[in-house]
Amino acid sequence: MNLLTLFAVGCITFMAWLTYLFGAIRFEKRCPTCGNPHPDRIARSGLMKLFTSKAYHCAACGKRFYQLEKIGAPSRQHR
């Protein structure tokens, strides 16, 4: 494989990862698939631990998604 082919494969892989990630991110606590307003909190995994986000799992449809904190929103401090 030449360098251009490797670069193209890397770009396609990165774009697929971004598409998956942004499909699973929400700014509200509601399931993006079925609209369930009461999803369950779960532990964050991988790179999502670096962001100010909360992980959820919908018991109704099985979708896993993340809720990002809105910019400028007051954050709760854990003590």
- Residue 76 falls inside a structural domain: no
For 40-59, write each residue's pLDDT tens digit. Answer: 988 877 766 666 778 888 99
Give the pLDDT of residue 61.
Answer: 92
Q: For residue 70, what is the DSSP state?
A: P
Whether residue 75 is contained in a domain is answered as no
> What domain range is 19 assigned to?
3-68
Q: What is the pLDDT of residue 65?
A: 82
Query: Does residue 73 fall inside a structural domain?
Result: no
Q: How confident is the model at residue 60 (pLDDT cuts 50, 70, 90)?
A: very high
- pTM of the complete model: 0.52
Residue 9 within a domain? yes
Domain-embedded: residue 74: no
pLDDT in tens, 21-38: 666 556 667 888 898 888
Q: Is the pLDDT of residue 69 over 80?
A: no
Given a contact cutoff of 8 angstroms between Cβ atoms, the answer to whether 27 and 68 are in contact is yes
Angle value at C-alpha 40, between 20 and 77, nearest 5 degrees: 90
